[in-house]
Homo-oligomer: A and B are copies of this chain.
């Protein structure tokens, strides 16, 4: 098991015919999470055959339009297709007003409940189930903007079938073994858990940072994640412009990924001035070798063996 990320949009600011505004689908075994939702995200979801009625949680980074203009349309289409299950929406507190006013005059109410969760950037998880935990943290942009970290929960230890059979561990005790308990035989002999089980599969983490001028102040939140998405709007020759607009250059992003010691870096949110993205990739790679470009329709996974 791993986390995977389908890129739905990779453009900064305005959409073009080649690149859409920011949106990503983060998949786990049990969840489909949508992260940001630029204009026409619902069309991109159709293009890549995502069953979008299965998205129950939507995370919005900030209130610049290229990250949320598509949300109202997606919700509207979910309604028209007869959705019943609630949709949970996470973002800055003003998001609810921005979305709901657009439905206010349509003369009908949605077929499902929208549940808004105000994100503050505290360390408490904003979502958790037995598979994953999502936390939000503030990045470094002109207006309040959140990054999101998707952390798989610790996985159970894996039962070693042969040893369990050898020591005649009864079936009822197996869940306890997964939790790490030692086993005491009827004659009183204690068999250490480490004999009966193998180490759990690793728990992966994915962190999403858009939009942000790369900065160490959120380093601790992205430290050591298996996969980091971070914007890289400009080449470094535009560093003055990046600074002014609170965006990152590819060089800065690569350097931040190196400091954070992540497994892989994925860069996106490319300025429309660039048609050829290779120079951005190369610039980021100078700072951090294991970097990829966010390509729309392509899926990236935290499992490094699948790269």
A interface, CB within 8 angstroms of B: 13-17, 39-40, 42-43, 46-47, 63-66, 69-70, 72-73, 76-77, 80-81, 92, 94, 97-98, 101-108, 142-143
Contact = CB atoms under 8 A, between A and B. Distances in A.
A13 B94 CA distance: 27
25 contacts: A13-B77, A13-B80, A14-B42, A14-B80, A14-B81, A15-B40, A15-B43, A15-B77, A39-B39, A39-B42, A40-B40, A63-B105, A64-B106, A65-B73, A65-B106, A69-B76, A94-B104, A94-B105, A97-B101, A98-B101, A98-B102, A98-B104, A98-B105, A102-B102, A107-B142
Contacts of A69: 69, 72-73, 76, 102
A105 B97 CA distance: 10
Nearest to A15: B43
Nearest to A95: B105
A98 to B, nearest CB: 5
B107 A39 contact: no
Contact of A102 (B14, B65, B103): B65
A103 B94 CA distance: 11
A234 to B, nearest CB: 15
Q: SS class of chain A's interface: helix, strand, loop or mixed?
A: loop
Contacts of A81: 14
Nearest to A69: B73
Contacts of A105: 63, 92, 94, 98, 143
Shortest Cβ-Cβ A-B pairs, 8 listed = A40-B40, A63-B105, A14-B77, A107-B143, A39-B73, A94-B105, A65-B76, A69-B73
A77 B272 CA distance: 12
Nearest to A92: B105
A143 B103 CA distance: 12
A17 B43 contact: yes
A101 to B, nearest CB: 5
Contacts of A73: 15, 39, 65, 69
A61 B142 CA distance: 35
A42 B40 CA distance: 10
A105 to B, nearest CB: 4
A21 B19 CA distance: 20
A66 B15 CA distance: 19
A72 B104 CA distance: 16
A129 to B, nearest CB: 29
